Amino acid sequence: MSIQISFPGGVKVAAQVDDFQILTDQPPEDGGEGSAPAPYDFFLASIGTCAGYYVLRFCQERQLPTEGMTMNLAIERDPVSRKLLKVLLDIKVPEGFPSKYHRAVIRSAELCSVKKALSSPPEFVLTVS
């Protein structure tokens, strides 16, 4: 896989992923226009949407209700270094969702490949050409 990164102006950075362009910006207090999510926001959203995919597929495969189901992602950071300490995902199941599946839904979210990549981080190799 290859993703092309470009710099369309200001502090915006764009990523071309196949036929899709992902545009990022920074909030005004960081020199941006706030016209798009910041890269870190996309990083966090990728965790939530990846876990959400596995939850959704778990429910679909068992014909469990997903209407009204939501997930909330929150984080905890070190107040000094701002390092990410904890990602909290709360899966809100719809009314009447069978409680016998609650733990299984959590296990399905834990299958998220983004979460797995963070658990055993890859090596980063940076070059200039």
Percentage above 70 pLDDT, the chain: 100
What is the pLDDT of the chain when averaged over all its residues? Answer: 96
Residue 54 pLDDT > 90: yes
Q: How confident is the model at residue 8 (pLDDT cuts 50, 70, 90)?
A: very high
Place of tokens 């909030």: 27
pLDDT in tens, 88-102: 999 999 999 999 999
Mean pLDDT of 23-35: 97
CB 9 within 8 A of CB 31: no
Mean pLDDT of 67-96: 96
Q: What is the pLDDT of residue 1?
A: 87
Of 75, 67, 33, 57, which Cα lies nearest the Cα of 111? 57
Q: How confident is the model at residue 48 (pLDDT cuts 50, 70, 90)?
A: very high
- Read off φ and ψ for residue 49, nearest 5 degrees: -70, -30
